[in-house]
A and B are shown apart, each in its own frame.
Chain A
Amino acid sequence: MSNIRIERIKFGAQEFDLIAAGVNLGESGGTIAFLKGSASFESIEAALKENGSIVQIGLSGEPDWTRSDLVYAGKLAKQSDQVIGTAEDGITSITADVMTATFRTPDLTETVKAQAAEIESLKETVGVLLLQSLEA
């Protein structure tokens, strides 16, 4: 199994090997399960919290798809020594530490907060222009 090329998942700049059927995303979110590898729990969570794009890298090494509409839901679980496949002898199980991250679409509060900040910024800009106009 270790010699077989597998799909990868990229969170921001960090890439991880996906487990079989590891992507379970719908329109409103879901989970992605991937191999922890040598990354620390904290560094994985930090990458997820950046809420950058999620990109699945296919077997060809090219992106299969990307999602920019989801945010990390704050749920990251580690499953130690999960069986991820079977060795060439067909008997021995291959195990690894698997991380499962949960994603969701941004909620209304977050959307409103972002829009309020944008409006405030626009208001400041218009205010400056108006003051300049009055000083002229």
Chain B
Amino acid sequence: MYNMLLWLYESGKLTAELLANAVIKDYITDTQKQEILASK
């Protein structure tokens, strides 16, 4: 799930707002969210 979200984020298909929803839905942890946000 992490890799998929990372790929979506890096390719511009996933916004930071939707990424926050991924934490709410327990798809990833908040730490992983920060890693994804830092990847760009």
The residues of A with any CB-CB pair to B shorter than 8 Å are: 123, 126-127, 130-131, 133-135
Contact = CB atoms under 8 A, between A and B. Distances in A.
Most buried by B among A123, A130, A133: A130
A127 B21 contact: no
Interface residues of B, number: 12
Nearest to A126: B4
B18 interface: yes
Contacts of B40: none
A133 B25 CA distance: 9
Given A131-B8, A134-B22, 14 more contacts: A123-B4, A126-B4, A127-B4, A127-B7, A127-B8, A130-B4, A130-B5, A130-B8, A131-B13, A131-B18, A134-B18, A134-B19, A134-B25, A135-B21
Contacts of A127: 4, 7-8, 13
Contacts, number: 24
A30 B25 CA distance: 56
A134 B5 CA distance: 10
Interface string B3-40: 01101100001100011011001000000000000000
A56 to B, nearest CB: 47
B16 to A, nearest CB: 12
A134 B7 CA distance: 15
Nearest to A135: B18
Contacts of A134: 14, 18-19, 21-22, 25
Contacts of B13: 127, 131
B27 to A, nearest CB: 8
